[in-house]
């Protein structure tokens, strides 16, 4: 099986599993217990918190553990709205994760103003658009760091400065970027940041939220005062240990992984660009999150491509409407200007350090085979259906 769906989730790193195992067995105690076993678990959680905080240049007092980035995004935005009730405006981008998009929808229903910043043809936000949208009523600006579908990386430093000029807090969903590219809360001017473990070879069901000491959201759940009294419930100790180990390994090997994945992705992009009528979605490979590639194979549909690849033991994902739960094409792809016909043929290949160049070669060969097969039976006649659908170059303009 070739697994090219690492922006969705990743396999556990063997060392992460090793680090976690004792906390399922002998070191199982509740960190809130006062006995020695409890103290042992509490110390382990403290160390894990310290180690992740250090990796992002934060104080351990400013980091809590959650169930993942979805919960962190909810807590960051909904909780900040409660901390700052006098401000009633929220700014996000058009290419946020569903959890941010839907939190914005909820606040909108409650009477908040929401601005969704547009992106250009490669997925970049124009800082001027933020300057124009922001005002004294904006309580938070929430912009994804590395996008999960097209791998575009935003310049958070510039954007956070604009947010701060108007006294807005700056939140980022860093679920895809943590451990893959440098992430330093001080350098980037971040007030709040959401993380998870399972995108970087850690376990599922564990993530974190960074918040500054002056930008503390109100808790959303009531219970005992765990996690700095912001997130009640007995800590997921094995998950926390696994998360910290995954971050440690990712940061330690970051430079090496980046170089390695660059080689794999540039070969994959080169191979796929040989397929006629194929377009790259998002920025050029060297500007993207390491390991991410997204292409549209025109005149055929993504779910059919995905299913054929799956039968050939290759796992990828698609931005097509037919493969989405809501039957609508990926809003990230339509936001960068793809028409529906183009979004339907979009396939995301996302690689990790555990993939190999041989796998890349196999995927290129098999993708060519599948595209040829499906195109041989397509009812799509480009000249008839859209004037936009002609031969185009692989790379997209900004």
- The residue range among 7-15, 116-124, 260-268, 302-310 that interacts with another protein, by the rule CB under 8 A, is 302-310
Q: Is residue 277 part of the contact set for another protein (CB under 8 A)?
A: no
CA 219/CA 229 separation, integer angstroms: 8
Tokens of 238: 């094995």
Number of H helices, E strands in the chain: 15, 13
Contacting residue, 266, 380, 392, 394, with another protein by CB under 8 A:
380
311 binds another protein (CB under 8 A): yes
Q: Which stretch binds another protein (CB under 8 A): 139-147, 205-213, 288-296, 372-380?
A: 372-380
The reply to whether 379 sits near another protein by the rule CB under 8 A is yes
At residue 210's C-alpha, the angle toward residues 290 and 65, to 5°, is 95
Contact range with another protein by CB under 8 A, out of 131-139, 190-198, 213-221, 321-329: 321-329
* C-alpha–C-alpha distance, residues 5 and 292, integer Å: 9
Q: Does 322 bind another protein (CB under 8 A)?
A: yes
Structure tokens at 309: 């690849």
Return the residues of window 326-365 that contact another protein according to CB under 8 A. 326-329, 339-341, 344
- Part of the chain binding another protein (CB under 8 A), chosen from 176-184, 243-251, 281-289, 323-331: 323-331
CB of 160 or CB of 350, closer to another protein: 350
Q: How far is the CB of 300 from another protein (least distance, A)?
A: 7
HSE value, Cβ hemisphere, 13 Å, CA-based, for 27: 17
Burial 183-196 (b: 16+ CB within 10 A, else e): bebeebbbbbbbbb
Residue of the chain from 148, 171, 199, 308 that contacts another protein (CB under 8 A): 308
CA distance 160 to 140: 10
Helix, strand, coil percentages, rounded to 5, for the chain: 45, 15, 40
Contact status: 386 vs another protein (CB under 8 A): yes
Distance CA(163)–CA(378), nearest Å, equals 48
Give the one residue of 321, 368, 392, 394 binding another protein; rule: CB under 8 A: 321
> For residue 82, what is the enclosing H or E element?
helix 69-83
Identified binder of another protein from the candidate list 307, 337, 362, 366, rule CB under 8 A: 307
Active site residue 322: yes
Q: Which of 25, 36, 86, 377 binds another protein (CB under 8 A)?
A: 377
Q: What whole-number distance in Å separates Cα of residue 224 and Cα of residue 98?
A: 29
* 97 interacts with another protein by CB under 8 A: no
- Residue 127 host element (H or E): helix 127-133
- Residue 153 φ then ψ, to 5°: -110, 125
Tokens in use for 246? 């995954």
Task: Considering the candidates 259, 322, 357, 373, report the single residue annotated as catalytic.
Answer: 322
Q: Please say which residue, 51 or 386, places its beta carbon nearer to another protein.
A: 386
Candidate ranges 22-30, 118-126, 261-269, 317-325; the one touching another protein (CB under 8 A): 317-325
CB 217 within 8 A of CB 95: no
Q: Does 300 bind another protein (CB under 8 A)?
A: yes
- Given the rule CB under 8 A, which residues bind another protein? 299-304, 307-308, 311, 320-323, 325-329, 339-341, 344, 376-380, 385-386
Q: Which positions are catalytic?
A: 322
């Amino acid at each position: 099986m070739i697994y090219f769906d690492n922006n969705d989730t990743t396999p556990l790193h063997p060392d992460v599993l090793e680090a976690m195992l004792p906390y399922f067995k002998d070191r199982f105690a509740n960190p809130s217990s006062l006995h020695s076993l409890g103290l042992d678990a509490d110390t382990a959680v403290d160390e894990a918190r310290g180690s992740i905080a250090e990796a992002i240049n934060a104080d351990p007092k400013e980091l809590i553990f959650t169930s993942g980035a979805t919960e962190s995004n909810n807590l960051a935005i909904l909780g900040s709205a409660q901390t700052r009730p006098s401000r009633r405006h929220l700014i996000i981008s058009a290419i946020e994760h569903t959890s941010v998009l839907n939190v914005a929808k909820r606040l909108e229903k409650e009477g908040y103003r929401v601005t969704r910043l547009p992106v250009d043809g490669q997925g970049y936000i124009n800082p001027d658009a933020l300057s124009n949208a922001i005002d004294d009523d904006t309580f938070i600006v929430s912009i994804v760091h590395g996008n999960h579908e097209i791998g575009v990386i935003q310049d958070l430093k510039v954007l956070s400065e604009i947010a701060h000029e108007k006294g807005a807090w700056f939140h980022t969903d860093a679920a895809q970027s943590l451990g893959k590219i440098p992430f330093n809360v001080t350098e980037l001017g971040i007030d709040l940041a959401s993380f998870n473990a399972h995108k970087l070879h850690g376990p599922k069901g564990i993530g974190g939220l960074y918040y500054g000491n002056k930008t503390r959201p109100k808790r959303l759940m009531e219970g005992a005062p765990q996690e700095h009294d912001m997130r009640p419930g007995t800590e997921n100790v094995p998950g926390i240990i696994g998360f910290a180990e995954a971050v440690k390994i990712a940061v330690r090997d970051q430079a090496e992984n980046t170089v390695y994945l660059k080689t794999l992705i540039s070969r994959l992009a080169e191979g796929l660009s040989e397929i006629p009528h194929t377009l790259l979605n998002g920025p050029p490979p060297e500007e993207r999150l390491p390991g991410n590639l997204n292409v549209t194979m025109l005149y055929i549909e993504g779910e059919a491509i995905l299913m054929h690849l799956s039968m050939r033991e290759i796992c990828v994902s698609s931005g097509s409407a037919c493969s989405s739960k809501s039957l609508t094409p990926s809003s990230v792809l339509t936001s960068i200007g793809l028409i529906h016909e183009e979004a339907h043929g979009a396939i995301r290949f996302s690689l990790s350090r555990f993939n190999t160049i041989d796998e890349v070669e196999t995927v290129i060969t098999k993708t060519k085979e599948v595209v040829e097969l499906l195109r041989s039976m397509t009812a799509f006649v480009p000249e008839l259906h859209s004037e936009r659908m002609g031969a185009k170059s692989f790379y997209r303009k900004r």
